[in-house]
């Protein structure tokens, strides 16, 4: 049933998928529709001409159905690579971590999922400069294939999405937000490596369009001055003063408070 060629299965709309999930989430007959929706989500990343919202619930339901009905996962490894890629783009959300526990181990350790997982680990450890070379490997359709193994349509679709603008920029946006929560000023070289761009002008051009995403329209990158990038002041990257935070609390003061607390508990 779910081995239909990609071109014969049109993708359901987002509202149609929501209806499927609300009424038939345990029904294996919806696997083809969910697979088509996964491909449509990836196509939307690769091209602005495709409009298809990301749906963690739809993707997770598909992975669960593969788990319960492995005989219907004929092209599951191929689709799971697309699901993993879509989850990676949600960093720093933990969507990929939530799905990995349901993905078969042999798929996790096979390409391209193995590289996607490695990319997620690098992002989670804030090894941003090391992330980009691994991420670019996914843009090579033949990467990780055994000798004589052909490139599937899904693998080409993944490569097209990686090589497009949207995927990289989605990750760069969230890296900027992480840097802005950490630094008031950061060395330009650190930011260049983290964003995989060539110069300060590129940092300013991209970063000045990134906001916190929490309703505040203030650009997170204020400027690039010489060898430093200046980020907008936030509660996270600014030292707390006054009653909110006090330095130089002595050991004797802490010991006294602990002693009083112990005495009170003994009353």
Q: Domain-by-domain residue ranges, the chain?
A: 6-163, 182-267
**Confidence grade of residue 76 (pLDDT, cut at 50, 70, 90):** low
In the chain, % of residues over pLDDT 70: 85
What pLDDT does residue 175 have? Answer: 97
Q: Is residue 261 over pLDDT 60? A: no
Model confidence over 133-163: pLDDT tens digits? 999 999 999 998 888 889 999 999 999 999 9
Residue 213 and residue 162: Cα distance in Å, rounded?
23
Structure tokens that stand for 263 in this block: 């005495």
Tens-place pLDDT, residues 171-209: 999 999 999 999 999 999 999 999 999 999 999 999 999
pLDDT, mean of residues 57-61: 97
82 within 8 A of 53, measured Cβ to Cβ: no
pLDDT score recorded for residue 57: 97
Model confidence over 224-236: pLDDT tens digits? 998 999 999 987 8
Out of 3.40.50.10860, 3.20.20.70, 1.25.40.250, 3.40.1190.10, the CATH code matching 6-163 is 1.25.40.250
| Helix or strand run (H / E) with residue 154 | helix 153-163
**What's the mean per-residue pLDDT of the chain?**
88
Identify which of 84, 135, 136, 89 has the alpha carbon closest to the alpha carbon of residue 113.
Answer: 84
**What's the pLDDT tens digit per position in 89-136?**
999 999 999 998 999 999 999 999 999 999 999 999 999 999 999 999
Q: What is the pLDDT of residue 161?
A: 98
Spatial distance between the Cα atoms of 93 and 102, rounded to a whole number of angstroms? 17
Q: What is the pLDDT of residue 214?
A: 78
> What is the mean predicted confidence (pLDDT) over 260-267?
53
């Amino acid at each position: 049933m779910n081995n239909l060629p990609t071109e014969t299965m049109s993708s359901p709309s987002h509202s149609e998928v929501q209806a499927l999930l609300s009424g038939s989430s345990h029904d294996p007959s919806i696997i083809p529709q969910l697979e088509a929706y996964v491909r449509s989500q990836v196509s939307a990343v690769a091209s602005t001409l495709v409009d298809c919202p990301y749906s963690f619930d739809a993707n997770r339901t598909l992975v669960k159905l593969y788990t319960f009905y492995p005989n219907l996962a004929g092209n599951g490894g191929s689709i799971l690579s697309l699901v993993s890629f879509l989850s990676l783009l949600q960093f720093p959300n933990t969507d990929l971590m939530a799905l990995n526990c349901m993905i078969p181990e042999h798929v996790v350790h096979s390409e391209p999922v193995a590289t996607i997982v490695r990319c997620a680990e690098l992002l989670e450890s804030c090894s941003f400069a090391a992330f980009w070379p691994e991420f670019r490997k996914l843009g090579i359709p033949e990467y990780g294939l055994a000798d004589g193994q052909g490139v599937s349509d899904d693998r080409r679709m993944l490569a097209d999405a990686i090589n497009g603008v949207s995927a990289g920029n989605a990750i760069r946006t969230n890296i900027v937000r992480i840097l802005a929560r950490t630094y008031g000023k950061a060395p330009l070289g650190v930011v260049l490596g983290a964003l995989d761009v060539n110069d300060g002008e590129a940092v300013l051009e991209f970063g000045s369009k990134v906001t916190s995403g929490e309703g505040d329209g203030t650009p997170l990158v204020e400027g690039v001055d010489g060898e430093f990038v200046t980020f907008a002041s936030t509660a996270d990257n600014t030292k707390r003063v006054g009653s909110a935070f006090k330095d130089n609390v002595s050991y004797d003061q802490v010991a006294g408070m602990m002693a009083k607390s112990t005495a009170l508990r003994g009353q």
